[in-house]
């Protein structure tokens, strides 16, 4: 009797152990499958921006566009102002340039009148008109060029003759035959001048 009960208990123990082992194996397999599914699952999608973030981005873009438009408008205004000034200066230059012969004739007339004392009163009147005209043109930016004694500058002067001189250094202006004029730093007529060629060569120097 005792032996049969012992055998039965051993068989039951072995059966229970087999069952436990099988259950553990099955649980391990299920766990592995879950891990594989988790690793194969697609990544979670990035969160979409909220309505507030969208509104903030749109506001920033509109601000950028506004600032760009303001800058473009300011540049346009400055360009138009420059063009307007250029048109005014160009028109003034044309008018003043047409008056230069008048200034030349006025100067020649006053120089000739100095040789006639009987016309002294008339000369004084014309001299006042000449001064007033020059003053008005000077207010518009006109500058008279009378470079007597200055170094010859081909950018401002027109040499019409060279003349030897013991008093004036070589390449200096001896005489301004016709005045030049510059309007707002822009040359509108070069001064016609006679330039010194230095002291005259002596006969000994010429012979050598």
Q: Do 157 and 173 meet the contact criterion of CB atoms below 8 Å apart? A: yes
The C-alpha atoms of residue 207 and residue 201 are separated, in whole angstroms, by 10
User: Which of 61-70, 82-91, 145-154, 156-165 shows the lowest per-residue confidence on average (mean pLDDT)?
Assistant: 82-91
- Determine the 3-state secondary structure of 142 from DSSP: strand
Of the segments 7-11, 52-56, 108-112, 175-179, which one has the largest average pLDDT value?
Answer: 175-179
Q: Map out the domains of the chain as residue ranges.
A: 73-140, 143-203
Radius of gyration of the chain (CA): 53
- Does position 41 have pLDDT exceeding 50, yes or no? no
- Does position 135 have pLDDT exceeding 80, yes or no? yes
For residue 31, what pLDDT band results from cuts at 50, 70 and 90? low
Q: Do 174 and 194 meet the contact criterion of CB atoms below 8 Å apart? A: yes
143-203, what's its fold? Answer: Nucleotide Exchange Factor Grpe; Chain A, domain 2 (2.30.22)
Q: Chain-wide mean pLDDT for the chain?
A: 80
pLDDT of residue 173: 95
Coarse DSSP helix, strand, coil percentages of the chain, rounded to the nearest 5 percent: 60, 15, 20
C-alpha closest to that of 108 among 50, 52, 178: 178
| The model's pTM | 0.56
- Does position 64 have pLDDT exceeding 60, yes or no? yes
Q: Bigger pLDDT: 164 or 14?
A: 164
Q: Do 144 and 177 meet the contact criterion of CB atoms below 8 Å apart? A: no
**Both structure tokens of 198:** 């230095």
pLDDT of residue 82: 87
pLDDT of residue 4: 46
For residue 141, what pLDDT band results from cuts at 50, 70 and 90? confident
**Both structure tokens of 25:** 């194996």
Q: Bigger pLDDT: 168 or 11?
A: 168
- Does position 14 have pLDDT exceeding 70, yes or no? no
């Amino acid at each position: 009797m005792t032996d049969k009960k012992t055998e039965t208990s051993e068989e039951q123990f072995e059966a229970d152990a087999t069952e436990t082992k099988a259950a553990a194996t099955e649980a391990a397999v299920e766990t592995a499958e879950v891990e594989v599914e988790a690793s194969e699952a697609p990544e979670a999608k990035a969160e979409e921006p909220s309505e507030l973030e969208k509104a903030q981005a749109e506001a920033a873009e509109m601000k950028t566009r506004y600032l760009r438009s303001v800058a473009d408008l300011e540049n346009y205004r400055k360009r138009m102002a420059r063009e307007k000034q250029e048109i005014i200066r160009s028109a003034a230059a044309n008018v003043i340039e047409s008056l230069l012969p008048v200034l030349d004739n006025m100067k020649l007339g006053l120089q000739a009148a100095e040789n006639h004392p009987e016309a002294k009163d008339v000369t004084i009147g014309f001299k006042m008109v000449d001064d007033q005209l020059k003053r008005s043109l000077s207010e518009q930016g006109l500058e008279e060029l009378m470079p007597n004694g200055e170094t010859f500058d081909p950018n401002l002067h027109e040499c019409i003759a060279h003349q030897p001189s013991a008093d004036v250094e070589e390449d200096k202006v001896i005489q301004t035959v016709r005045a030049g004029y510059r309007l707002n730093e822009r040359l509108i007529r070069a001064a016609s001048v006679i330039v010194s060629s230095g002291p005259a060569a002596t006969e000994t120097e010429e012979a050598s």
